[in-house]
């Protein structure tokens, strides 16, 4: 994979951006991480990774509408680019390939 390496947090956020679609922005992603994984993510860390992914061209952003919930501030909504989708897919496939090498042992009830 070389250059296209993403660490797990980056991969997670990229996946979430792809999944959340028009709802993918900093706060929503942070809350989603908490709900899906049960672990707290700091907002600043999420933001830093979003900017990094955008720099790498995996996601792009537009400034979206404001809601009352956010004190009238606008959101920056991210969407995944083709490059991002490709990377995500490659990573997922690589992982599946590797998974296939693992002997499929049957779980025996004890």
The residues that touch other proteins, with contacts defined as CB under 8 A, are: 25-28, 30-31, 42-45, 47-48, 51-52, 63, 66-71, 73-76
Nearer to other proteins, 15 or 52 (CB): 52
* Phi-psi domain of 30 (left: phi exceeds 0; alpha: psi -120 through 50; beta: other): alpha
By beta-carbon proximity to other proteins, the closer residue of 64 and 85 is: 64
Of 52 and 56, CB closest to other proteins: 52
Beta carbon of residue 63, minimum distance to other proteins (angstroms, whole number): 7
Residue 60 exposed, middle or buried by CB count within 10 Å (0-12, 13-18, 19+): middle
Residues in the chain: 110
């Amino acid at each position: 994979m070389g250059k296209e390496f993403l660490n797990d947090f980056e991969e997670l956020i990229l996946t979430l951006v792809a999944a959340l679609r028009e709802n993918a922005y900093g706060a929503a992603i942070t809350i989603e991480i908490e709900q899906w994984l049960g672990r707290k993510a700091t907002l600043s860390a999420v933001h830093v990774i979003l900017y990094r992914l955008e720099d790498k061209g995996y996601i792009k952003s537009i400034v979206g509408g404001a809601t009352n919930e956010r004190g009238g501030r606008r959101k920056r909504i991210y969407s995944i680019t083709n490059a991002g989708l490709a990377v995500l897919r490659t990573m997922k496939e690589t992982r599946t390939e590797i998974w296939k090498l693992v002997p499929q042992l049957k779980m025996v009830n004890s």
